[in-house]
Amino acid sequence: MRGGIIGLIGLQGVGKSNALYEIYAARRNALDQARRQPPEIDTHGVRLEDDYDTVLFKWRRHPELFASLLMGTHEASSEFRLEYMKSLSEEIAERFPRGDRRSIHGGNLNIEVEAELDKQTIGRLREISWLNVLRRKTILIDTPDYSKTDRRMMAKDLEGIYWLWNTLAETGANVVVAVQKEMFCDHFFFDKMQRIELEPLRPEQMLEAYKRRFFGSEPFTEEALLTIARMSRGIFRRYLRYITLTLDLWQTHLEPRGPASPATVKEAVTLERLTEDMQLELAEIFPRQSEAPLEAVRLMTHLEESGPQKQSQLAEELGMERYKASRLLAKLELHRYITRERSGTDKIVSATKR
């Protein structure tokens, strides 16, 4: 791929940042191996090892971005920061031949240069140097988590990333940007991306992750961990949070304790807690219905515990009017949280496997 743009889409907490770090590490290892071999040149005269040259960073707007690069607080590797500093020094030297008296010092241009350059020129020099260093690289961008009130901020960030990709595309630079699935809508940039979605983990995978890390399921029963995993809906950040909540409650029990059970989990992780954690993704489905997210979570939790049920039976067990349950299920089905299959005059409702 040359000049490509990939959107790595995933729910908040599903592991987008970790995925970017894994991609970065793999590509840096490949680059190290390629550098140990005799250089290979492709048909365009480009060294093949350049294909693995990668930079990873959290997205920042320009003033903060360049300050972090100069001050060394940027997540990019020290190698990248040195490359940037060198490029900036060269840009300054071109405009000021007496470059030995005009250098970068303490994260800023020195006083003599500051006196001769206005802020706009300084900013332009930093921007040119930044773009010079990013030419032909694969750029992995981790965007921040946004709340439902941050759409304007996210749109501004996306416009900055779009500018960067559009500016560098002709040099062959590729951009991979991690984007929150809950916010993935209503922006022209999304249509230009090749989209790859990070699927939530299955409960069995989350259980295995715990057992591998702690050499068993203690102090939980395996069923308790599976209950936490199902409540987490495959989102690892929630999984860790619910483990902590359950342990906090389990440790307060005064009587002799056995392993933490599913009952302890359900006491610790309330329906309100589950609804709060799903609020952002459910806000798109129920934008003006304050009670609907809680009802939706109650319905999905019941389905995951009981297994597939007839729609009429489900409404009865939850104490919901049938027409209300039907409308709620229709919206959840549209967004693939549940599935329904016709069975005679009724429908069988199942939670979507995640």
Give per-residue pLDDT as tens, 32-81: 887 777 766 655 555 555 667 888 888 887 667 777 776 667 777 777 87
154 shares a domain with 9: yes
For all residues of the chain together, what is the average pLDDT? 82
- Cα separation, 339 vs 351, in Å, equals 6
179 shares a domain with 34: yes
Number of domains present in the structure of the chain: 3
312 shares a domain with 242: no
Q: Where is the domain boundary, 181, 197, 213?
A: 197
Determine the pLDDT at residue 41. Answer: 61
Q: What's the domain range around 300? A: 271-354
302 shares a domain with 276: yes
Range with the poorest average pLDDT among 25-39, 106-120, 248-262, 280-294: 106-120
Higher pLDDT pick, 6 / 40: 6
Range with the poorest average pLDDT among 219-228, 259-268, 300-309: 300-309
Q: Where is the domain boundary, 211, 236, 269?
A: 269
By the 8 A CB rule, do 91 and 85 touch? Answer: no
Determine the pLDDT at residue 225. Answer: 96
Determine the pLDDT at residue 178. Answer: 93
pLDDT reading at 90 higher than 50: yes
**pLDDT level of residue 280 (50, 70, 90 thresholds):** confident
pTM recorded for the entire structure: 0.74
231 shares a domain with 181: no
Determine the pLDDT at residue 104. Answer: 53
152 shares a domain with 72: yes
State the average pLDDT over residues 79-94: 81
Give DSSP secondary structure letters for 123-179: HHHHHHHHHHHHTT-EEEEEPPP--TT-HHHHHHHHHHHHHHHHHHGGGT-EEEEEE
Q: How many Cα atoms within 13 Å fall on the side-chain side of residue 181?
A: 20
**pLDDT level of residue 100 (50, 70, 90 thresholds):** very low
pLDDT reading at 92 higher than 80: no
Q: Where is the domain boundary, 269, 294, 327?
A: 269
164 shares a domain with 69: yes
pLDDT reading at 281 higher than 80: no
Determine the pLDDT at residue 185. Answer: 72
- Cα separation, 175 vs 167, in Å, equals 11
Q: Which candidate, 12, 17, 10, 9, places its Cα nearest to that of 280?
A: 12
210 shares a domain with 185: no
191 shares a domain with 42: yes
264 shares a domain with 275: no
Name beta bridge partners: 156.
none
- Cα separation, 162 vs 179, in Å, equals 13
The enclosing domain of 314 has a CATH number of 1.10.10.10
Counting residues of the chain whose pLDDT is more than 90, the rounded percentage is 26
pLDDT reading at 253 higher than 90: no
Determine the pLDDT at residue 101. Answer: 46
291 shares a domain with 241: no
86 shares a domain with 48: yes
